[in-house]
C-alpha cells in the first residue's frame, strides 16, 4: 500500500526522486531502538558524570544538580550527587536505597523502597540489563532538528503499561558510526509536564 501511495505521488509530481531516496534512507524508530539495545546489551559496566536539570512546570522553576553514575550488570546502579547536597541513590536490582544528607550538620536519613515504580531505575532499566525496549514501549522518532539535537536521533518512548511516574521518555542517541546506540541525554516527562533531564559524559 505504501509503495502504491509513493508511486501515485511521483506520478502527480508532488514527490521528487531525491526526497523519495531520502525517505527510504531515513532510519525507523525500531532501528534506532535496536542500536540502543545492542550497544548497552554488550556493555557490562557504565560510568559517567551527569548534569541533571529538573523543570517544575507548576512553579516554572529549574533545579540543577550534578554527580556520577555507576552501573554494573545485572541490575546494580549508583548515583552520587556532588551538588547540591551529596545525595546517594543505590539500586541492587530489587531495592532502592536513598541517602539524604541532613541540613546544617544534622544527621542524614536512609529511605528504602522497592524498585518498582521508582522513576530513575524504571526509566533507565535498559542500562542495567534484562529490559527489552520493544516489549516495554511504543516508540517513534522525533524531529531531531526541532529538538536541538542535529548530531543524532531523538527517540520517544511511551510505556505500553501506563506509569504514574512518567508519561514518556526521550533518548538523544548518537548517530556516529563508531558510537551507534550511545545515549547522550535522557529526558523523562511526566503527565504534569515536569521534565527531568540528564546529560551524560
| pLDDT, tens digit, 9 for 90 and up, residues 77-103 | 899 999 778 999 998 878 889 999 988
Nearest CA-CA partner of 118 in 137, 140, 92, 138: 92
pLDDT-derived band at 131, boundaries 50, 70, 90:
confident
Whole-number pLDDT of residue 23 = 45
pLDDT for res 99: 93
As a 3-state breakdown, the chain gives helix, strand, coil percent values, each rounded to 5, of: 25, 40, 35
Q: What CA–CA distance (Å, rounded) separates 149 from 173?
A: 9
pTM of the model: 0.81
Q: Does pLDDT of 135 surpass 50?
A: yes
Q: Quickly tell me which residue has 522513576 as its cell.
A: 119
Amino acid at each position: 500500500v505504501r509503495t502504491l501511495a509513493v508511486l501515485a505521488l511521483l506520478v502527480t509530481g508532488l514527490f521528487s526522486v531525491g526526497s523519495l531516496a531520502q525517505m527510504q534512507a531515513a532510519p525507523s524508530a525500531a532501528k534506532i531502538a535496536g542500536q540502543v539495545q545492542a550497544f548497552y546489551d554488550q556493555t557490562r559496566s557504565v560510568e559517567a558524570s551527569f548534569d541533571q536539570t529538573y523543570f517544575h512546570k507548576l512553579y516554572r522553576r529549574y533545579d540543577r544538580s550534578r554527580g556520577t553514575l555507576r552501573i554494573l550488570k545485572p541490575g546494580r546502579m549508583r548515583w552520587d550527587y556532588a551538588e547540591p547536597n551529596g545525595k546517594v541513590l543505590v539500586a541492587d536490582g530489587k531495592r532502592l536505597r536513598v541517602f539524604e544528607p541532613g541540613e546544617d550538620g544534622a544527621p542524614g536519613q536512609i529511605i528504602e523502597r522497592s524498585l518498582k515504580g521508582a522513576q530513575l531505575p524504571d526509566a533507565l532499566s535498559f542500562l542495567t540489563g534484562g529490559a527489552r525496549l520493544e516489549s516495554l514501549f511504543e516508540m517513534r522518532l522525533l524531529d531531531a532538528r526541532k529538538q536541538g539535537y542535529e548530531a543524532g536521533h531523538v527517540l520517544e518512548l511511551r510505556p505500553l503499561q501506563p506509569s504514574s511516574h512518567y508519561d514518556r521518555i526521550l533518548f538523544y542517541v548518537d548517530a556516529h558510526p563508531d558510537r551507534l546506540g550511545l545515549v547522550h541525554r535522557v529526558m523523562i516527562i511526566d503527565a504534569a509536564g515536569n521534565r527531568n533531564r540528564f546529560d551524560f559524559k
